[in-house]
Structure 1
């Protein structure tokens, strides 16, 4: 399988290394298992003759030519917060990268983008109409810039058509293992064991809900109101009245900024607070359920399992 890894200026050091190390490990393990040839022919390519990582290291690159390849992999650039990211996306190199991605896709190369690399892929327009994920704290910005993309930032990895996107930082390794899995599920499994990587289907356990809320004044006010009334049954009408807006406006604003309803966001806050109480107190599950607005522990247990994929015992053990 031929793969080009496109390193842009300021590439995220950990992300680039995670992709290359995972594929190199898979090649070594394949050789140990008697494969006749390495399954992955990997090149690191660049749009500029000299590429420097976000931490200042020089990356040896080959020219990003039009060689036939199965996959082009786009690691993140090392810009993590919205203002700096918006500035980075306006650079000539990102525009050139977007054009290069369109050319490579037209030549039947599939594209995988990790973390903030998903923004560069979205700049090309190729993701329009497709499902995608991105670093969880950048969901509001992504949704605002690329409304034609069906974003679900709660997921760790999303495959849609010829494209694969992943969530934040270490999800570069999830992406690389997914690519290995396309060649051999067995090889991917043993590679993951050597690297001590557990499957992580969701970013939900890592999300900080109030961090997302601060991207919009009305959403931020709703977040503060919801926390103050977490133990009470949720009422959209009561929330809208307290915030001097209409239920429809509040519903539409949360959908636009966070991609979820007010009730779904309140559930996120309840899950976050419940996990905090499970890990920092000796209260039983019934008492914790009452503190976060549920009538019984059964409902809370089901919500924790659905949202986080973990039960009470697992969460308390952590």
Structure 2
């Protein structure tokens, strides 16, 4: 499998290196332990002759030859953590050239993958329009507003949609590289995972900070504060809208536009966050914690935690042991 890793100026060092390390480890284990030839022919390419990482390291790159098509092209993340730092990067000339290359190769049948901020390049190129995708959870509101045609679900760690694959924040590069290894050989992927003490994760939900997402919009930020103050009382859309001096329709619309979910769903996120905090930092039993977040008993809370986090109460408590 021919894999081209597209390096851009100011890229996230760990994103590049973990991608290359996973694939090189897969090649080494395939050759030495499984008796097979290397599965990946990996080349680090660039649209410029010289690329420097965000930490200032020079990346050895091969200039792009558009005529030599890989099977896969992977786009590691740029080092940008806010819209203010990301927007200028997306407008750079080398990024524009990279987008043109991605469009050309995708049109010619090349499969495309990106992690974290790299997903923004795919969205800028139009390759995610009308597709399911994920991105770094911390910039999901900005992504959703900038690319309304993308079917975004930032709670997912990896989304495969046709010939395009996206993964989530930062260490989503690891999940992507392991997923790609699994496409070549599930047995090899399991071996690499054990050697690197790494597993493919299915969800970003346990890592999402609801307060961070709410700050993308003034009304949603006010709703978040109201919700935190009323967790014990339970949710009422009418009461929330009235307290915020807005209509239920406006509150519903703003939450959907910014968060990609209803006010009730976001209220549930806050319940989960508070319950996690109490599970980790208090000696309360599950029924007492349920009462703190507006439930009559612990059974409903147990179900909610497992649905949202994929883990039960016992697993969540064990995390800090």
Q: State the TM-score, normalized to the length of structure 2.
A: 0.98
Q: Pick which of 90-99 and 209-218 moved more.
A: 90-99
Alpha-carbon distance, 1:34 to partner? 4.1
Q: Which residue of 1 aligns with 2:285?
A: 284
Q: Match of 1:233, SS?
A: coil
Q: Which residue of 1 aligns with 2:109?
A: 108
Distance 2:222 2:94 in 1: 38
Contact preservation (8 Å) 1:6, 1:64: no
Q: How does 1:35-50 map to 2 (within 5 A)?
A: 35-50=35-50
Distance 2:236 2:13 in 1: 46
Deviations 1:116-140 (Å, cap 9, x if unpaired)? Answer: 0000111001110101000001000
Alpha-carbon distance, 1:93 to partner? 1.5
Q: Match of 2:3, SS?
A: strand
Q: How does 1:58-137 map to 2 (within 5 A)?
A: 58-66=58-66, 67-137=68-138
Q: Which residue of 2 aligns with 1:163?
A: 164
Contact preservation (8 Å) 2:181, 2:189: yes
Q: Match of 1:148, SS?
A: coil
Q: Which residue of 1 aligns with 2:10?
A: 10
Alpha-carbon distance, 1:35 to partner? 3.9
Distance 2:160 2:197 in 1: 23
Distance 1:117 1:60 in 2: 19
Distance 1:300 1:34 in 2: 46
Q: Which residue of 2 aligns with 1:138?
A: 139
Distance 2:313 2:274 in 1: 13
Distance 2:53 2:241 in 1: 47
Q: Which residue of 1 aligns with 2:246?
A: 245
Contact preservation (8 Å) 2:178, 2:200: no
What runs of 5+ residues in structure 2 fail to find an aligned partner? Answer: none
Alpha-carbon distance, 1:200 to partner? 1.4
Deviations 1:243-291 (Å, cap 9, x if unpaired)? Answer: 0000000000000000000000000000000000000000010000010
Distance 2:40 2:263 in 1: 45
Distance 1:307 1:82 in 2: 27
Q: Which residue of 2 aligns with 1:153?
A: 154
Q: Match of 1:238, SS?
A: helix
Distance 1:315 1:37 in 2: 42
Distance 2:212 2:134 in 1: 18
4+ residue runs of structure 1 moved beyond 6 angstroms?
Answer: none
Contact preservation (8 Å) 1:9, 1:54: yes
Distance 1:253 1:28 in 2: 50
Deviations 1:67-95 (Å, cap 9, x if unpaired)? Answer: 12110000001111111111211111211
Q: Which residue of 2 aligns with 1:28?
A: 28
Q: Match of 1:86, SS?
A: helix
Distance 1:260 1:308 in 2: 17
**Superposed CA RMSD:** 0.8
Contact preservation (8 Å) 2:175, 2:199: no
Alpha-carbon distance, 1:198 to partner? 2.6
Alpha-carbon distance, 1:106 to partner? 1.6
Distance 2:194 2:131 in 1: 32
Q: State the TM-score, normalized to the length of structure 1.
A: 0.99
Q: Which residue of 2 aligns with 1:224?
A: 225
